Amino acid sequence: MAKAKKKATKRKLTARERAAYHEAGHAVMAVLLRGRLASVTIDSNRKVCKDRGAAGVTAHRKFAGNDFDEIRSGRGARKRRLIERAVQVYYAGSVAVSILVGRTDWEGAGKDLEELGDLLWRITLSEEEAVAYGRWLWIRTRNILSGERFWAMVEAVAEALLERETLTAKEVRTIMGDRVNRFWSKECKTHPSRLWALLEVIL
């Protein structure tokens, strides 16, 4: 997969820019992995942001206790895959900012780390396994978002958030779809609908 050619920014990000790229990372990964996405916002005055003490918020899938029991027993392969995808969505905010600034960046990711850490601990049997599992999912998330076509989606969603502050899931998918169409028209002979199907298999 071609990697994003954009050079890391050398200037200091504003809090608003950081929030936009962070939330864009979450939103794009949620759509790519067929996760749950209601809306995404960087409007810190919205109640959902104030309740979480965050600059931006993206909805995440929640799991019940019996989901983890099933996974640890070795019978929940499908649910394990769903949890892996949820962890990747949690990681994606920091991954997006890290790609932008050219170094690992956890600023503003406290709640994400708390949530994904809880998921990893509940589906593994030791600290060593949880750390290795988490590292692998971070690398996988970084490799996906640093791909040229996917990074273009992150940039487009971030730009839209900076302009409008709040996007619905439909608006996010429309923005991402536009990027797929541009890629198809310039580089790919596969119809966009087939490209989306291919991306689902790859991811």
Residue 129 lies in a domain: yes
pLDDT of residue 1: 44
Question: Could you read off the pLDDT of 68-111 as tens digits, one per residue?
Answer: 666 666 666 778 888 899 999 999 999 999 999 999 999 989 98
Cβ 195 vs Cβ 184: under 8 Å: yes
Q: Find the radius of gyration of the CA atoms of the chain.
A: 17
Total residue length of the chain: 203
Give the number of domains in the chain. Answer: 1
| Beta bridge pairs of residue 3 | 147
Alpha-carbon distance values, 65 to 72, 89, 123 (Å)? 11, 20, 11
pLDDT lower than 70: segments of the chain: 1-11, 44-76, 181-203
| Beta bridge pairs of residue 174 | none
DSSP 61: -
DSSP 53: T
Cβ 76 vs Cβ 70: under 8 Å: yes
Residue 179 structure tokens:
């990027």
Strands (E), the chain: 39-41, 57-58, 166-168
Residue 203 lies in a domain: no
pLDDT of residue 168: 92
Residue 106 lies in a domain: yes
pLDDT of residue 49: 47
Cβ 23 vs Cβ 40: under 8 Å: yes
* Residues of the domain holding 113: 15-172
Cβ 140 vs Cβ 88: under 8 Å: yes
Residue 91 lies in a domain: yes
Residue 36 lies in a domain: yes
pLDDT of residue 139: 96
pLDDT of residue 150: 92
Residue 122: CATH number of its domain: 1.20.58.760
Residue 101 lies in a domain: yes
